[in-house]
């Protein structure tokens, strides 16, 4: 029996029972035909540049035998030759055409250590009218692997999580306590962090039976926290039972790259891992986000490398970013030209003619200002080169042309600030790695709101660089506090207290140039709002539903929209769902205000008008008094002039 000590002073233990409950059932998946299921895979395309080889590994679950690989092979140069290999064996060679539809049998013994290697080789053609460029490629797209067999139910935590999971369902008992509910939401975030956007993570949903599908059940139980693996109707299931904060800590470990580390320690040896990461520094190396120690560009024509840089990788929002990129290049052959360009979010930040000097090292130093920073940013390094006329050689006869960037020596220095982003694009960086969640509901509505919160958490986590620390708080404490986080099931009073841009009352008009929502006083709607306050940022999910008959449907419609579009698909600061329209995003500045807002602004306008009226009356009175005084002075002067005239006579 293995015991885990969690990374807290008051630690919990997890005991894993590697037992099976019930037989495994036949797996089903997306069908190419009625009897030919295909494996879920994140590999859908393999690209090989001219003269190069590209290989991708397809995970094959235990108990599954791949039978065929299907796809479409496209060649930029029809005179070139493309070779496809499965497990190291050549199964297809094509030349003379641009497009091939493939249906390839998988040779016996092609799977090694649970992986099926698919390799594409692209050999140069004989059309040498111009220098070849690295843009010429062979592309194997729409890859699908058919299979036979039934996935074996895992018997330990080490084999429970597959490399690719099409769906993971997190489930709780409808009457679960706050401890159980918090742990379930933590598990949703952990699994979403583990797999990313290709995996659908649901809360109390129906899990399919495709290979790789998993279920995580969270239940109340005595300490220590226990984990048991079983087979639930053909779906491998991991059940966590426990109570208190320890149950949430155990759920957080599900996002670890190697959750088997949970079992690497015993009670006497202290914590195996910690679920509370140290704050991210404002200065980091590019290697931290690139995931490789070197970027290399080579060849004539155009080649480029891309690195994604998320704001939340720096532990919070930033308003500027300075980059130092040290490059090393080979000598540019005589008569050839080579240019190195650096782009950030499609803006040209730096450029250099590599043949202009004698040195072979150069550094790009530039600063990205707040107006050019996004939630998710893209750094592109591009090498463009042309060979001298008559020297278009390839292979060992060609002089090499390469540029290397050591990501370990490249630095990024950020300055803390909120930048120029607004609405949903301020998330997840404003969370600074921690998400408070409040549910304003009881009974059956509580599970509905928990499912909605899970959908929002999953979408946020899939665009986060690090695993979020999720904790449940009471709605009153959240509304009256200073936590940045999420409130689900918000009331009109909550929206008013949080100064939501769209108040949860009846609306007359809500729309923009593309979408218009006309509402009578009793037409329901649901809305997800991004609220930026001076002390915190809040995500609020609520609605106007006087009939109390369609609130759950509208909430589900909105969260389904979020699941489909992902967080990156959200713009502005409002998402609205109605009974008769598809959900849409809109800026709060683009709609006619609600009756409550009109009332608020009306009161302000009343006092402004009254103040202006008083000012006009005072000015008028002052004018009248001044005019009367001038008249009196004029009469005195006239009388004096008449007296002087009489004395003169």
- Please write the tens of the pLDDT for every residue from 188-223: 999 999 998 888 999 998 877 788 899 999 999 998
For the full predicted model, state whether its pTM sits above 0.75. Answer: yes
pLDDT of residue 159: 86
What is the separation of C-alpha 388 from the centre of its chain, rounded to a whole number of angstroms? 45
Min mean pLDDT across 222-231, 289-298, 377-386, 521-530 is at 521-530
Quick one: pLDDT band at residue 302, thresholds 50, 70, 90?
Answer: confident
CA–CA gap between residue 240 and residue 226 (Å, rounded): 6
Reported as a single tens digit per residue, the pLDDT across 61-96 is 889 999 999 999 999 888 889 999 999 999 999 988
- pLDDT reported for residue 234: 83
The larger pLDDT score, comparing residue 453 to residue 3, is at 453
Most confident range (mean pLDDT) of 135-149, 435-449, 559-573 is: 559-573
Query: DSSP readout, 131-148?
Result: ---TT-EEEEEEEEEEEE
Better-predicted residue by pLDDT, 590 or 594: 590
Q: What is the pLDDT of residue 218?
A: 96
pLDDT of residue 293: 92
Give Cα separations from 162 to 22, 194, 258, 273, 586 (angstroms): 20, 11, 11, 21, 39
Mean pLDDT of the 282-301 span: 90
112-124 residue pLDDT tens: 988 999 999 988 7
Mean pLDDT lowest among 102-111, 457-466, 611-620: 611-620
Q: pLDDT category, 601, cuts 50, 70, 90?
A: very low
- Rounded to 5°, angle at Cα 133 from 129 and 139: 110
506 pLDDT higher than 90: no
Residues of the chain above pLDDT 90, percent: 50
Report strand pairing: 81-86 vs 115-123: antiparallel
Predicted local distance difference test score (pLDDT) of residue 2: 32
pLDDT range class, residue 314, cuts 50, 70, 90:
very high
Share of the chain above pLDDT 70, in %: 76
Dihedral over Cα of 597, 598, 604, 608: its sign: positive
Averaged pLDDT, 153-164: 87
What's the pLDDT band for 355 if we cut at 50, 70, 90?
A: confident
| pLDDT given at position 220 | 93
- Give dist(CA 530, CA 131) in Å, integer: 52
pLDDT at position 100 over 80: yes
Query: What tokens does 625 get?
Result: 């008094």
What was the pLDDT predicted at 445?
Answer: 84
Most confident of 48-52, 193-197, 485-489, 502-506: 485-489
Lowest mean per-residue pLDDT among 199-213, 267-281, 418-432: 267-281
Q: Which residue matches tokens 């489930």?
A: 171
Q: What is the pLDDT of residue 320?
A: 96
Relative to beta strand 361-369, strand 318-329 is antiparallel
Q: Provide mean pLDDT across the span 432-460.
A: 92
Q: What angle do CA 588, 593, 595 make, to 5 degrees?
A: 145
Among 284-288, 300-304, 376-380, the minimum mean pLDDT is found in 300-304
**Weakest mean pLDDT among 81-85, 356-360, 445-449, 554-558:** 356-360
Q: What is the mean pLDDT of residues 553-576?
A: 92
At 25 the pLDDT is: 34
Q: How far apart are CA 531 and CA 496, in angstroms?
A: 11
Task: Give how far the C-alpha of residue 32 lies from the chain's centroid of Cα atoms, to the nearest Å.
Answer: 31
Per-residue pLDDT of 2-59, as tens digits, reads 333 333 333 334 444 434 333 333 333 333 444 578 888 878 899 987 777 899 999 8
* pLDDT band at 598; cut points 50, 70, 90: very low
Contact in structure between 398 and 336 (CB atoms under 8 Å)? no
Per-chain mean pLDDT for the chain: 81
Give yes or no for a contact between 255 and 193, defined as CB atoms under 8 angstroms apart.
yes
In the predicted structure, residue 620 carries a pLDDT above the cut 90: no
């Amino acid at each position: 029996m293995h015991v885990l000590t969690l990374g807290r002073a008051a630690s919990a233990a997890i005991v894993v029972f590697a037992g099976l409950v019930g037989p495994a059932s036949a797996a089903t998946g997306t069908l190419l035909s009625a009897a030919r299921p295909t494996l879920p895979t994140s590999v859908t395309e393999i690209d090989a540049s001219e003269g190069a080889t590209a290989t991708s590994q397809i995970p094959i679950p235990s108990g599954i035998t791949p039978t065929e690989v299907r796809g479409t092979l496209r060649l930029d140069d029809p005179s070139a030759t493309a070779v496809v290999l499965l497990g190291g064996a050549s199964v297809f060679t094509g030349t003379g055409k641009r497009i091939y539809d493939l249906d390839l049998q998988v040779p016996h013994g092609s799977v090694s250590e649970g992986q099926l290697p698919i390799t594409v080789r692209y050999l140069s053609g004989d059309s040498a009218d111009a220098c070849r460029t690295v843009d010429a490629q062979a592309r194997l797209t729409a890859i699908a692997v058919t299979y036979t067999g039934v996935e074996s139910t895992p018997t330990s935590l080490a084999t429970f999580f597959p490399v690719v999971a099409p769906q993971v369902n997190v489930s709780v008992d409808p009457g679960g306590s706050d401890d159980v509910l918090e742990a379930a939401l933590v598990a949703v975030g952990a699994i979403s962090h583990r797999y990313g956007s290709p995996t659908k993570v649901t809360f109390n949903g129906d899990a399919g039976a495709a290979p790789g599908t998993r279920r995580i059940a969270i239940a109340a139980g005595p300490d220590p926290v226990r984990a048991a693996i079983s087979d639930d109707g053909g779906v491998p299931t991991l059940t966590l039972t426990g109570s208190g904060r320890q149950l949430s800590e155990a759920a957080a470990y599900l996002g670890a790259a190697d959750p088997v580390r949970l079992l690497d320690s015993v009670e006497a040896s202290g914590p195996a891992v910690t679920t509370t990461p140290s704050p991210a520094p404002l200065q980091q190396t590019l290697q931290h986000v690139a995931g490789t120690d070197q970027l290399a560009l080579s060849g004539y024509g155009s080649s480029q490398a891309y690195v994604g840089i998320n704001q939340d990788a720096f532990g919070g929002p930033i308003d500027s970013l300075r980059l130092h990129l040290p490059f090393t290049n080979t000598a540019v052959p005589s008569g050839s030209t080579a240019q190195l360009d650096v782009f950030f979010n499609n803006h040209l930040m730096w450029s250099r003619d590599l043949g202009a000097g004698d040195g072979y090292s150069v550094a790009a130093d530039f600063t990205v200002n707040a107006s050019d920073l996004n939630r998710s940013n893209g750094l592109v390094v591009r090498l463009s080169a042309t060979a001298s006329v008559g020297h278009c050689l390839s292979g060992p006869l060609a002089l090499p042309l390469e540029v290397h960037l050591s990501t370990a020596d490249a630095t990024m220095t950020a300055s803390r600030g909120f930048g120029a982003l607004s609405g949903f694009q301020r998330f997840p960086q404003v969370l600074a790695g921690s998400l408070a969640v409040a549910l304003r509901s009881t009974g059956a509505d509580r599970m509905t709101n928990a499912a909605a919160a899970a959908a929002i958490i999953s979408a946020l986590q899939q665009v986060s660089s690090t695993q979020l620390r999720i904790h449940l708080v009471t709605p009153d404490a959240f509304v009256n506090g200073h936590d940045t986080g999420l409130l689900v099931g918000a009331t009109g009073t909550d929206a008013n207290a949080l100064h939501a841009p769209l108040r949860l009352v009846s609306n007359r008009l809500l729309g923009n140039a593309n979408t218009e929502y006309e509402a009578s006083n009793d037409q329901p709607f649901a809305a997800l709002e991004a609220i930026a306050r001076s002390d915190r940022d809040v995500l609020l999910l609520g609605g106007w539903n006087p009939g109390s008959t369609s609130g759950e449907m509208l909430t589900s419609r909105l969260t389904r929209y979020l699941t489909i579009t992902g967080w990156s698909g959200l713009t502005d600061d409002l998402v609205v769902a109605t009974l008769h329209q598809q959900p849409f995003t809109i800026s709060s500045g683009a709609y006619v205000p609600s009756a409550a807002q009109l009332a608020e602004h009306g009161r302000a306008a009343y006092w402004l008008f009254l103040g202006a009226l008083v000012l006009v009356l005072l000015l008028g009175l002052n004018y009248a008094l001044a005019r009367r005084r001038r008249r009196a002075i004029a009469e005195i002067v006239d009388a004096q002039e008449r007296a002087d005239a009489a004395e003169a006579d």
